[in-house]
Amino acid sequence: MKVYFINLERSPERLAWFKKQAEGMGLNLVRVPAVDGRELSATELERWRKLCRKNKVLSSGELGCFLSHRKAWEMVRDGAEKWAFVAEDDIHFSKDAATFLTGDSWIPAEADLIKAETDLRRHEFSSNSWPAPDGHELRRLKSDHLGSGGYFLTRESAVHLLALTERRCEVADGVLFAAEYMQKHRLKVLQIIPAICIQDVYVDQHMETSTLGSIIDRERIEERKITKKQRMTFTTKLKREMRRITLQMTVSVARIYRMLVRSSVLTAVEFDRYR
């Protein structure tokens, strides 16, 4: 099985991080040169933003991420293997991840797409399950579970997702794992429990070892500071302030919640599973 990992040319530290993790795991790595949203032409930005929902126009960073995953799907489509793993370069692998990444014999025949990561939140899964190696299990995902840090997909699923996103532009993880889009693409999406990878942004909330951060979040903040100043009115300022307050409250509640209750996928005390 090939592991396609997305990496920006201007992020050599992430490339080094990902390759260091892969050492000794026996992985068949393929680097996917990420699409840099900063370098997209005005024409290209406009073309894709026309396919966004009016209230969810993507920042250049988000659009670059979306197009990078499409690029990975094209590589999977053009490959010879039935299954592949697509990763972003900031994920932390669990110590037993290689078992899943070096072959597909463990994957149920009916699966189309398998989410391999956790965001430490509760999600809704099917009551029935499929066995997986090393004490893991697979359950069908039935609710939003955002994040596109690590997932398995078939060549047929890659073809299907590429066709869907020719006419729709959405954040990559939304297309893959938002309940709304799962209904549209109609792929059977399973979740590995416990997860075998986690994005650095979630590690950062619980450990002091995180150094990578989120490129998209930083660029989204900077870009929106500029664009919103250009079209600011009293109404939009008020809406922005209300959204900011709501977001702060939501984040605070979510952090407290994660500290007090067990995640359906993983708990903070189990971080020693990750490298």
Fold of 2-204+264-273: Spore Coat Polysaccharide Biosynthesis Protein SpsA; Chain A (3.90.550)
pLDDT the model gives residue 274: 65
User: Quick one: pLDDT at residue 55?
Assistant: 87
- Matching residue, tokens 């922005």: 240
Lowest average pLDDT, out of 29-33, 111-115, 251-255, goes to: 251-255
Q: Give tens-digit pLDDT for 49-89.
A: 999 998 899 999 999 999 999 999 999 999 999 999 999 99
Tens of pLDDT, residues 245-270: 666 565 555 444 443 333 334 444 45
Band of residue 240 on the pLDDT scale cut at 50, 70, 90: low
Provide the whole-model pTM. Answer: 0.78
Q: Write down the domain spans for the chain.
A: 2-204+264-273
